[in-house]
Structure 1
Amino acid sequence: MTNTPLLKVDHAGIRFGGLKAVSDVNMELKEGELVGLIGPNGAGKTTFFNLLTGVYVPTEGSIQLDGKKLNGFAPYKITKMGISRTFQNIRLFSDLSVLDNVKIAYHSLAKHSILSSILRLPPHFSGEKEMEEKAIEFLKIFKLEGVMDEQAKNLPYGQQRRLEIARALAANPRLLLLDEPAAGMNPQETEELMNLIALIREKFKLTILLIEHDMNLVMGVCERIYVLDHGQLIADGTPEQIRNNPKVIEAYLGEEVS
C-alpha cells in the first residue's frame, strides 16, 4: 500500500430538494485496504455508494479515484475507471445463465469492436472465447462452475450473492463496493462469506469498502470502519475503537455493535 489514497472523498454530499441525504462526508481509502461503512437503517449508506458510482451526482464536495475527479461521470464510465459494486437487493439477469451473468461484465472491457460482432468477424469469436474462459475461472473461484449453465434465478440465495460478487469482480475493479453482502444469509453462509472476502481481497489485490449490518462480519474482516448516521459521519477508527465509541453505541439505539 502507498500513502496516496486510492479513494478520496472531500466534503461530499447530496440534497434532494430541502433534504440533505448525505452531508459533508470525508473519507480516504488507501490501496489494498478493507474498510467498513456501518450505521443504522436510513443513515445514507447506500446513497453514499450511489454517489461513488455515479448513480447520483454530488451537490457538494468532490470524489476522486486515484486523483481523478469522478463528479458527473456516468456509472458505466466510473466502472471502466475502476469502481465496481454489488447491491443491497440482488440485481442479477435472472433469466440468463450463471456463466452469461459473469460474461456480461467482461463485455464492458471487450477488446473487439461492435462492428466485428455485428459482422461476425474472427476478432468477435476470439474475444468471446477469451471472455468465456475468464468467466469460468471466476466461477471456479466462487465454486459456481458446477452450475454455470443454470439460470441465475434458480440458484439458492447464498449462491446468488456469490454470483453477484463474481460479476462485480469480472469488471476488473480497483475498488470493490459491497452493499450488505451477508443480508439474508445464515451464520454458516456468513462465515463462508467472510473467508471469501478475505480471499478475493488478497488474490486480486483489491481495495474494498463494505456496507454491512452483521457486526461479526464487519469486526472480523475490516481494518478500519466509518460510521454514518443521518447522512453524516460520526466516527471512524479501528474495530476496537468503534466498538467502544459512545457516539456509535448511541446512534444504534441499543443495537449490538460488538
Structure 2
Amino acid sequence: MKNTTPLLKVDSVGIQFGGLKAVSGVNIELFEGELAGLIGPNGAGKTTFFNLLTGVYVPTEGSISLSGEKLKNLAPYKITKKGISRTFQNIRLFGELSVIDNVKVAYHSLSRHTIAESIFRLPRHFSGESEMEEKALEFLKIFKLDGYKEEKAKNLPYGQQRRLEIARALAAQPKLLLLDEPAAGMNPQETRDLMELIGFIRKKFNLTVLLIEHDMPLVMGVCERIYVLDHGQLIASGSPEEVRSNPKVIEAYLGEEVS
C-alpha cells in the first residue's frame, strides 16, 4: 500500500530579494520513491527553489517539511543530516583531492568519531576512517569510478566528474536527492547512461529524486511527475502527458510544443 504522507511537503513557499519575488507561492509534494522533474525556461527560479530546499536561502514565506519535520531556518549542513542531498548545475568537486576522498568528505558529516578522537588518533578514529574508505569504494564501484580512486578529481573527464558528484551526494545517505541539470554538458550517450544509472540507484537505495533538466525528451521519458515553474511561480504539474499538452507550459516555452 502506497504511503499517502509526502516525504517532502512544500507549502506556499517563496522568497523575495528586495522588491523582486524570485519564487512565490510554490506548492509541491514528493512521495517516497518518486522520481519527479522540475522544468521551466531559463530564469524561472528552479535553482533558487533548490537553494530554498537545502537552506542556502531562507524562505520569506511558506514552509518546507521533510518527513513531517519543518526545515525552515536550519543551516544547510543540518538539512543534509536530515536527509536532503544535492548536486549543482556547475560541478563542485574538490579538484585537488582524490576521487575517493571526494566521496569520503560526505561521510565525515555522518561520522561517529569525535574531533578529539581524530586529533589524538584514538582507535575509534581509525575504525571510522576504515569504514568510510570501504563505503566510499562501494559507491565508486556502482558508478564505475573505482579504477580512478586515487586520481585527482579535476583530472577526470567531464562525464565522470558528474558521476562523482552524484556519488558524493549519495554518500550523505539522503532520503531525497536533488539533481540540478545532471546531464548538462554530456553527449547523448553519456546522458542515456546517466539516466539509466539514476533509475538504478533510485531503486537500489529507495531514493526520492527531484531533478532539474532542460533536455525535455529525457525528462518526459524518466519522470513520473513533472512540476513547471515560470517567473518563480508554479504554472503546471502532473504526468508527462498532462504537462506536454498544457497550454500554459507551451506558452512558457515560447509557443514551442514540449516533446
User: What TM-score does the superposition give when structure 2 sets the normalisation length?
Assistant: 0.98
Pairs within 5 Å for 1:39-58:
39-58=40-59
Q: Whole-Å Cα distance in 2 between the matches of residues 142 and 4 of structure 1?
A: 32
C-alpha distance in 2, partners of 1:189/1:257?
22
TM alignment of 1:21-100, pairs within 5 A = 21-100=22-101
The CA deviation string for residues 123-161 of structure 1, in whole angstroms up to 9 with x for no partner, is 000100000000000000000000011000000000000
- 1:119-138 equivalences in 2 (<5 Å): 119-138=120-139
TM-score (norm 1): 0.99
Runs of 4+ in structure 1 over 6 Å off: none
Q: Which residues of 2 match residues 135-146 of structure 1 at below 5 A?
A: 135-146=136-147
The answer to whether 1:235 aligns with 2:236 is yes
* Residue 219 (structure 1) aligned with residue 204 (structure 2): no
Instruction: Using the TM superposition, name which of 168-177 and 247-256 deviates more.
Output: 247-256
Instruction: Give 3-state SS (helix, strand or coil) of 2:130's partner.
Output: helix
Count of aligned residue pairs for this structure pair: 258
CA distance in 1, matches of 2:105, 2:138: 15
Residues 150-169 of structure 1: pairs in structure 2 closer than 5 A: 150-169=151-170
Deviation at 1:255, TM superposition (A): 4.7
Q: CA RMSD in A?
A: 0.7
Q: Residue 244 of structure 2 contacts residue 257 of structure 2 at CA under 8 Å; is this kept in 1?
A: no
- Worse-matched range after superposition: 245-254 or 17-26: 245-254
Aligned to 2:114: 113
Instruction: Give 2:155's aligned amino acid.
Output: N
Equivalent position of 1:248 in the other structure:
249
- Other structure's SS at 2:227 match: strand
- Residue type matched to 2:251 in 1? E
* Equivalent residues in 2 for 1:4-15, closer than 5 Å: 4-15=5-16
Q: Which amino acid aligns with 1:98?
A: V
Per the alignment, in what secondary structure is the counterpart of residue 62 of structure 1? strand
* Code of the aligned partner of 2:230: D
Identity fraction in percent = 80
Partner Cα distance (1:219, 1:201) in 2: 17
User: Contact 1:215–1:256 at 8 Å: present in 2 too?
Assistant: no
Cα separation, 2, equivalents of 1:192 and 1:257: 23
Q: Partner of 2:148 in structure 1?
A: 147
